[in-house]
Amino acid sequence: MTLISVEFALLWLASAILYFIFPLKYRWTVLLAASTVFYFWGGIGTGYFMLLTVAVVYLTARVLDKYNVEHKEYLKNNPDLTRDEKKALKLKNQKKKRVILSVGLVICFAFLVFLKYFNFLSQQTFGILGIFGVQAKAPEIDLALPLGISFYTLQATSYIVDVYRGKLRAEKNIAKVMLFVSFFPQIIQGPIGRFGHLAPQLYEGHRFNFTQFKYGLQLFLWGLIKKLTLAEYMGIIADEVFTNYNDYKGIIILIGSMVYGVQVYADFSGGMDMIRGVAQVFGIEMAVNFERPYFARSVAEFWRRWHITLGAWMKDYVFYPLSLSKAFASMGKKTRKVFGTYIGKMLPTFLASFVAFFLVGIWHGSSYKYVIYGLWNSVIISGSILLDPVYKKVLKKLKVNTECFSWQLFQIVRTFFLVSIGRIFSRADSLTASFAMLRNMFSEFNPWVLTDGTLYELGLTAREMFLVFLVIIVLFVVSLMQEKGMKIREALDKQNMLFQWLVVIGAIIFLMIYGAYGESFNAADFVYQQF
Amino acid sequence: MKNKKWLRSVAFILLLSVAVMGVMQIYGLPKTYDTRNIAAFDAEQEKLVDGVVLGTSVVAHSWLTPVAWQDYGVAIYHLSTSVQPFGIVPEYLDYVQKTQDIKYAIIDIHGLRTEAILSGLRPAKFRAAYLNIPDMESRFKVLKALNSYVQEVYDFYGKPESESNTVDLEDKSYLIPFINFHRRWVDGLKKADYVTVSNRFMGANDRDNSFGVMDCSEFIDRWNFKLTDEIDDFQKGQLQEIFDYAAEKDIELVFINIPSFRSKSEQKEMSEIIEYCKSKGYDTIDFTDSKVFEESGISLSEDFLNKGHLNARGGVKVTKYICEFLIENGYYYTDHRVDEAYIHWHTTAEKYNSFYEKGWAESKA
């Protein structure tokens, strides 16, 4: 079952009705039932891995919580302990907890690694063995990837790490843990929720709130418009360029990668809006995953605005633990002596960022192209930080005004260009294909393709191009208003009723007519669903 | 939630529903001549029609209700659709009976030849066959019949390999054609997409192509064969369903084979179908039989629009022949021309005369 299907609409409707009929205390059970129906709609399949993950995080969190409680109680009952004794006790407790956490994390990630990366790792290993004369067929597993495993694994593991850190108490009811891991709108493509933010909202019953309900439906509609009237059409051009990249050169390749950037944004952020809209109908506010990333003025800022929950996960559970670890601190000290204070100070950060982006890359899939995709972003960010003093000097010397709109616009365009180059790695069929595309892109400067009708040969008619252009304008204006701090739905709510109705009905009719669905489209698939 | 909000919500939903229905009507099934023909029948007053002609496009080109009315006072409509699947004849008759009290049905057998059965399994043809029926209950009955018809075809002949010759009636777009046809905005919509217009002449072909001429003399050899084979069990089964239905509803049946020049084997097969119906005791008119063809006065050189269809002049001859056949063979006959309830039929017939005269005059010019 996918977000864009009659089945999902019926499930949403039925669960919303039941949710508000059930007593407040038991409303979470409706969400759990809906999530179970959603997840197992197509059969059990490999869905038992999700159940195993739930069991593992439940048990891990309970044991960790027990240690946390015992430790606190011990300190409470023994107020006379010296500082050293407390420290020793804490270390001892932490050691035990670390073992438990490690076991939990290893099991959870083992499912992910085994199912998502086993075939890739096996092929690579046997490929290397082949170089040394060991000829054998690489073993492969033939198991479908469980729905949403990349998302729920991160969500579930963040829960046990937070319990380990003592930020959270463990949930005693395993059914509630299951709801947190498998909440139906978000399990396929996020956002990657945090227990502290999401779980209380899931468990407490929400009373029917008309405004929330309305806002939820509006957000869903807006997401659907992005998906069906922009992402799907952009996808036609992107597919054409990325599939037949050998037929194109220069600007067409650049356009293809930029168009893919718009496609994946409209697709993913549209999906997020739909998911948040579904949750909002139940009174649940999900984490925001996008904050107008294409307004970013640097790649680092882009990643603070793009797939925010993944970035935040990497920051909290990979980047900070690594960069603040003893090993990295000691490495920093040593390198300061060799490379100087600035580089010595930044190196642990760069390395931690490198690891985090490497993980972001392979999180997307088991292919070298994703590794390069992650590393491209890491190198750009690290490089820009490293060269920042040089840039500043050059700009000062050239007397460039960096406080004006034109400079900001330049930064935005530059960021979009750099991000688009990185997109070639993530979208191309293989690493070889992405390098070939880059080669083709820089092999010819052919601006005439913008005016000689070549663009109309990429799969869209003139009418469709106009439609896409129109939607991009609307998206841009809406984004600009949001960037200025305007809350669109609240602003609409303040207008006259007739105007509100016309806007919403107009949007629905627009979507119905111009939406890319039906025989020639498979609009139910979201790009990030595959990750 | 306060009452005011409930009321507003209901009003909003109503307004939205009206807008959605309107858009679905415009962007739904493209309006074709099938739409206009059935719309014309649907607009007819109740209990005025004595009989109907069913079949494929050969019927749409050959049956001229105004001519039958003007010359014989006979009230017969046709409800043909392009490559009309034969398996829905009982359901179509059921739909007709909802508003009319027909005494007989004239059924052209072009849709029962094997080639038509297999090549007719096309989504557009199926949609045309049932989505144009305005009455929802009848529409679903036809859809259900189509479902079992498709299954029977697949069971008997096997599923065609070509995807364009397969239909999946489970597809939601069969129920909601808007799902597929909303993308017609890419080609641009015309006035006819916004307004459903009935056929101007009670289903008689009102398009300018009625007045084309193709000399088909060279194809006459295709009607020259000896009947040697029996029709297959699937075809017999389809006919038996119609026989049974008609017997139950007390509707008389006449099976006809309107002249066309399909391949020799197809022409032979159609004549064999006619022979089978005759052997079952039903009246038949095979216009490809040399005697009947001669009696009808149809000209090979002047009365055909193309190899598959008659032009308006050929249509007049076929219509008249069938009317005379019905009268001579004792089928229910009342000359309605004196009945005041049919006054609008006179007007339509007169308009058709003008259209006919003008059409030929312009085609000669």
Residue A116 CB burial class (10 angstroms; 0-12, 13-18, ≥19): buried
Mark which residues 436-495 of A lie under 8 Å from B by CB: 461, 463-464
Task: Give the span between the Cα atoms of A269 and A389, in whole angstroms.
Answer: 35
What string of DSSP letters covers A88-118? HHHHHHHHHHHHHHHHHHHHHHHHHIIIIIH
Element holding B286 (H helix, E strand): strand B283-286
For B285-324, write each residue's pLDDT tens digit.
999 999 999 999 999 999 999 999 999 999 999 999 999 9
Task: Give the span between the Cα atoms of A460 and A464, in whole angstroms.
Answer: 6
Residues of B with Cβ-Cβ distance to A517 under 8 angstroms? 179
DSSP state of B105: E
**pLDDT score, position A420:** 92
Task: Give the span between the Cα atoms of A348 and A319, in whole angstroms.
Answer: 10
For A154-196, write each residue's pLDDT tens digit.
999 999 999 999 999 999 999 999 999 999 999 988 899 999 9
Element holding B106 (H helix, E strand): strand B104-108
A529 forms beta bridges with none
Mark which residues 15-74 of B lie under 8 Å from A by CB: 15-16, 19-20, 23-24, 27
Does A288 touch chain B if contact means CB atoms closer than 8 Å?
A: no
Q: Considering Cα of B320, then B324, then B326, then B327, what sign does the dihedral take?
A: positive
Residue B162 has pLDDT above 80, yes or no: no
Pairing type for strands B104-108 and B252-257 reads: parallel
Task: Give the span between the Cα atoms of B155 and A378, in whole angstroms.
Answer: 60
Asked if B11 contacts B3 with a C-beta cutoff of 8 angstroms, the reply is no
Residue A82 has pLDDT above 90, yes or no: no
**pLDDT score, position A1:** 80
Contact B185 A514 (CB under 8 A): yes
**Which residue in A has a C-alpha nearest to residue B12's C-alpha?**
A501
Contact A513 B180 (CB under 8 A): no
Residue A191 CB burial class (10 angstroms; 0-12, 13-18, ≥19): buried
C-alpha torsion B278→B283→B287→B293, nearest 10 = 110
Residue A491 Cα distances to A343, A486, B15, angstroms = 48, 7, 22
**Which residue in A has a C-alpha nearest to residue B23's C-alpha?**
A509
Mean pLDDT of the residues in chain A: 90
**pTM of the model as a whole:** 0.83
Element holding B285 (H helix, E strand): strand B283-286
Task: Give the span between the Cα atoms of A149 and A531, in whole angstroms.
Answer: 9
A519 band by pLDDT with thresholds 50, 70 and 90: confident
Least confident of A131-140, A450-459, B218-227: A131-140
Distance linking the first and last C-alpha atoms of chain B: 72
The answer to whether the peptide bond before residue A139 is cis (omega within 30 degrees of 0) is: no
% of chain A residues with pLDDT over 70: 98
Mark which residues 165-184 of B lie under 8 Å from A by CB: 172-173, 178-180, 182-183
Structural domains of chain B ordered from first start: 34-364 (3.40.50.1110)
Pairing type for strands B76-78 and B252-257 reads: unpaired
Does A497 touch chain B if contact means CB atoms closer than 8 Å?
A: yes
Mean pLDDT of the residues in chain B: 90
**pLDDT score, position B307:** 93
